[in-house]
Amino acid sequence: MTQKMPKFDPIGAEFIQNSSYTHMAPTPESLGAEPPDYLPSIADESQLIPLPEPQSVPLGHTDLRNVIEQRRSVRRYNENAQLTLEELSYLLWMTQGIVHLSEKTGRTLRTVPSAGARHPFETYLALHRVENLEPGIYHFIPQRHSLEIVIQGEQILAALGEAAGRQNHVFTCAATFIWVAIPYRTSYRYGTRAYRYLFLDAGHICQNLHLAAEAIDYGVCAIGAFNDELVNALLALDGKEQFVAYMATLGKKL
């Protein structure tokens, strides 16, 4: 007789149970802890690479319905096409751009929703083919709408491809967006339940990238399959206070 398998994963079910409101413990905020920083610190302002105004990119599509209907995951890109700085600026604005910054709380309203306006994600970029930028890893600094160099060179990009299971589009894309979660920004207020919200927030960001890219004839493929330990190690993340939650490649359509 065939053993009947449960239709749920025990670890997943335990997470859902432990992050339910009935199991909520006091949050750091309710206990009077200091709030986290909601924006990245800047080591050296002079080293930032300013990005063009995102409004400088002409949009090929103006009908949102058409953009949504035409959106597909794209894994084959034009390997001769470079992403322009204007296009990169536009894509970063559409996925993590700051609409309003509160001087009192340090929290932001952005172009994507986030639980409690905590915006727990930092955007890193593995850039292969972007005009006037050397290949390497960059960090988006949203409050300056600028880039910060993290690691330069083709070697780190090859290592990222290996950590993503050698998926070909990671090697052939113009850029890979890497979204790094800082859970305490959200768990400060919501406790364990914040870990549910993290992945909802990641979905909002990636969908905006899909739609923004479609509007300028670029393709995107979201990546959930990667070696967490290897990817975190490449970015010098501890895997707990900061970790890679989601990635997506982007390139010009063929």
pLDDT at 2: 73
Closest CA to 27 of 142, 197, 160: 197
214: β partners = none
Record the pTM. Answer: 0.96
pLDDT at 5: 83
Q: What is the CATH number of the domain that holds 121?
A: 3.40.109.10
Domain assignment present for 59:
no
pLDDT at 137: 98
pLDDT at 217: 94
Q: Which domain holds residue 184?
A: 71-252
Domain assignment present for 5:
no
pLDDT at 10: 93
Domain assignment present for 32:
no
How far is the C-alpha of 151 from the C-alpha of 235, rounded, in Å?
9
Domain assignment present for 232:
yes
Closest CA to 184 of 169, 168, 195: 195
How far is the C-alpha of 182 from the C-alpha of 41, rounded, in Å?
13
Domain assignment present for 81:
yes
**Rg of the chain on CA atoms, in Å:** 19
pLDDT at 75: 97
How far is the C-alpha of 161 from the C-alpha of 231, rounded, in Å?
9
Phi, psi values for residue 166, rounded to 5°: 55, 35
Distance of CA 81 to the CA centre of its chain: 23
Domain assignment present for 61:
no
Here the tokens at position 169 are 């589009």
Number of domains in the chain: 1
Domain assignment present for 77:
yes
How far is the C-alpha of 44 from the C-alpha of 203, rounded, in Å?
31
pLDDT at 1: 61
Give 18-45 pLDDT, tens digit per residue: 999 999 999 999 999 999 999 999 989 9
pLDDT at 6: 85
Give 86-119 pLDDT, tens digit per residue: 999 999 999 999 999 999 999 999 999 999 999 9
Burial class from Cβ neighbours inside 10 Å (0-12, 13-18, 19+) for residue 19 reads middle
Number of other CB atoms surrounding residue 62 within 10 Å? 8
176: β partners = 126, 249
How far is the C-alpha of 191 from the C-alpha of 196, rounded, in Å?
10
pLDDT < 50 regions, the chain? none
Domain assignment present for 3:
no
